[in-house]
A and B are shown apart, each in its own frame.
Chain A
Amino acid sequence: DSGVTQTPKHLITATGQRVTLRCSPRSGDLSVYWYQQSLDQGLQFLIQYYNGEERAKGNILERFSAQQFPDLHSELNLSSLELGDSALYFCASSPPQGSTQYFGPGTRLTVL
């Protein structure tokens, strides 16, 4: 158990809908990262937040957005969902002075 929690574990929805994925980092970690894992693309970095501020952006679609709240939990919002958005979404956190990222158990999103 890495100490990073993610909810829900599974999410099934329809095309065009909007969903919110939630992540709580390890105690003491200030950075939160979001990654998408699909069969053909592997693990892809989406976005990073540090202590409430956006720090880095990767291959994140404009339909996707994220935020980190004062209690340091983070939410990833996915809208206008398409079939191709079906994937595992992972959250990771890292300590203030460290570079190692610890991953949560993931949310499996299925878009029908």
Chain B
Amino acid sequence: EDQVTQSPEALRLQEGESSSLNCSYTVSGLRGLFWYRQDPGKGPEFLFTLYSAGEEKEKERLKATLTKKESFLHITAPKPEDSATYLCAVQAGDSGYALNFGKGTSLLVTP
């Protein structure tokens, strides 16, 4: 059975304090790994798609990387507006295009 585990569940950072969020996965036939940002009561906002091990993508202060077993979302010099829940999801070959989500990491960045 496909599994997606995110850690930590919650993370508190000071503004400017860089860190990484982890997403470990077990799937048969990875089609893609996705990162989303979700603000309270809102829909998930797409950030990145990664397709193969070694791939990296960047957007502003965020950088996503992928290995055969896990993905990292690196946040460099975060600002308070980066506070949100970050969700990781996998799309596996045996489940069509459905996304299997982890429980998320709740990030709080304080001034």
* Cβ-neighbour of B43 out of A31, A56, A90, A94 (below 8 A): A90
Q: How far is the CB of B78 from chain A (nearest CB, A)?
A: 23
* Cβ-neighbour of A56 out of B31, B36, B44, B97 (below 8 A): B97
Q: How many residues of B contact A (CB 8 A)?
A: 24
The interface bits of chain B over 83-103 (1 if a CB of A lies within 8 angstroms of the residue's CB, else 0) are 000010101000111111111
Query: What chain B residues lie within 8 Å of A2 (beta carbons)?
Result: 43, 45-46
* Cβ-neighbour of A100 out of B41, B49, B87, B100 (below 8 A): B49
Inter-chain CB contacts under 8 Å: number: 63
Most buried by A among B42, B91, B95, B98: B98
Judge whether A64 is part of the interface by a CB distance below 8 angstroms.
no
Q: How far is the CB of A28 from chain B (nearest CB, A)?
A: 16
The answer to whether A99 touches B87 (Cβ under 8 A) is no
Query: What chain A residues lie within 8 Å of B103 (beta carbons)?
Result: 42
The interface bits of chain A over 30-63 (1 if a CB of B lies within 8 angstroms of the residue's CB, else 0) are 0101010000001111001000000110100000
Q: How far is the CB of A45 from chain B (nearest CB, A)?
A: 4
Q: How far is the CB of A3 from chain B (nearest CB, A)?
A: 11
A–B pairs, 21, beta carbons within 8 Å = A2-B43, A2-B45, A4-B43, A31-B97, A33-B98, A44-B101, A45-B99, A45-B100, A56-B95, A56-B96, A56-B98, A88-B41, A99-B32, A99-B97, A100-B32, A100-B34, A100-B46, A101-B46, A102-B46, A104-B43, A105-B42
